[in-house]
Amino acid sequence: MAFVAGRSTQSLDHQIEMAAVTLQVKVKPNARTSELVQAADGTWLARLKSAPVDGKANEELVALVARQFKCPRASVSIKAGASGRTKLVKVEAT
């Protein structure tokens, strides 16, 4: 391995495994403001302006989580609970 101006010139011969985290989120639709806060027990509470109609609240939740964790919306997905108030949301590292 050689160093040039503080950088390694070694090529990566292995794939870097992507890390992911799964969040348990309790959703409260029809709120005055949209916010995502972490509870003391490690779960998350999402207050959403959108109504739970035609997937609008789920779309807003994905955007809110992406903004909170500063990642693209494509890195956030709802793994369980898409039609319920408690959801498992997966955030993949980019």
Q: Read off the pLDDT of residues 3-21 as tens digits, 9 standing for 90 and up.
A: 344 444 444 444 445 588 8
The pLDDT score that the predictor gives to residue 11 is 43
From residue 14, give the alpha-carbon distance in Å to each of 40, 52, 93: 39, 43, 18
Q: What is the 3-state secondary structure (H, E, C) of 33-83?
A: CCEEEECCCCCEEEECCCCCCCCHHHHHHHHHHHHHCCCCHHHEEEEECCC
Q: Is residue 72 part of a domain?
A: yes
Q: Give the contacts of 22 (CB within 8 A, at least 6 positions apart).
A: 79, 88, 89, 90, 91
Q: Is residue 9 part of a domain?
A: no
Domain count, the chain: 1
Q: Read off the pLDDT of residues 5-61 as tens digits, 9 standing for 90 and up.
A: 444 444 444 444 558 889 999 999 999 999 999 999 989 999 999 999 899 999 999
pTM: 0.77
**At 43, which CATH number?**
3.30.1200.10
